[in-house]
Amino acid sequence: MDIAERIETGLHMALHHSTSGRCPAKLAGALRHAVFPGGARIRPRLCLAVALACGDRHARAATAAAVAIELLHCASLVHDDMPCFDDAAVRRDKPTVHVAFGEEIALLTGDGLIVAAFETLARETMLTPALTAPLVATIATAVGSPHGLVAGQAWESEPDMHLGSYHQAKTASLFVGAVSAGAIAASGNPRDWIALAKALGAAYQVADDLYDTVGETGSMGKPAGQDQRNGKPNIVAQLGVEDTLRHLRKLVETAADNVPDCPGAESMKAMIRKEATRLMPAKLPASAA
What single DSSP character describes residue 91? E
d(CA 53, CA 43): 15
Long-range pairs for 266-272 at CB < 8 Å and ≥24 separation?
Answer: 267/53, 268/49, 268/50, 268/53, 271/49, 272/196, 272/200
Helices 3-19 and 59-80 cross at an angle (nearest 10°) of 70
Q: Closest CB to a second copy among 133 and 265?
A: 133
Q: Closest CB to a second copy among 149 and 245?
A: 149
Which CA distances in Å does 242 have to 203, 208, 274, 277, 287? 15, 15, 21, 16, 8
- Short-list 103, 57, 65, 112, CA closest to 81: 103
Contact between 100 and a second copy by CB under 8 A: the answer reads: no
- Closest approach, Cβ 192 to a second copy, in A, equals 21
Q: Closest CB to a second copy among 74 and 262?
A: 74
* Sign of CA pseudo-dihedral 159, 160, 166, 169: negative
Select from 12, 132, 195, 247 the one that contacts a second copy (CB under 8 A): 132
Q: By rule CB under 8 A, what count of residues binds a second copy?
A: 61
- Closest approach, Cβ 16 to a second copy, in A, equals 10
Contact between 75 and a second copy by CB under 8 A: the answer reads: yes
Backbone angles phi, psi at 95, to 5 degrees: -60, 145
Site string for a second copy, 6-45 (x = CB under 8 A): ------------xxxxxxxxxxx--x--------------
| Cis? peptide before 159, omega within 30° of 0 | no
Site string for a second copy, 136-175 (x = CB under 8 A): xx--xx-xxxxxx-xx-xxxxxx---x--x----------
Residues 193 and 64 sit within 8 Å (Cβ to Cβ): no
Using CB under 8 A as the binding rule, the residues of this chain from 78 to 97 that contact a second copy are: 79, 82, 84-85
Q: Closest CB to a second copy among 105 and 279?
A: 105
The residues that touch a second copy, with contacts defined as CB under 8 A, are 18-28, 31, 75, 79, 82, 84-85, 102-105, 107-108, 110-112, 114-116, 118-119, 121-123, 125-126, 129-130, 132-134, 136-137, 140-141, 143-148, 150-151, 153-158, 162, 165
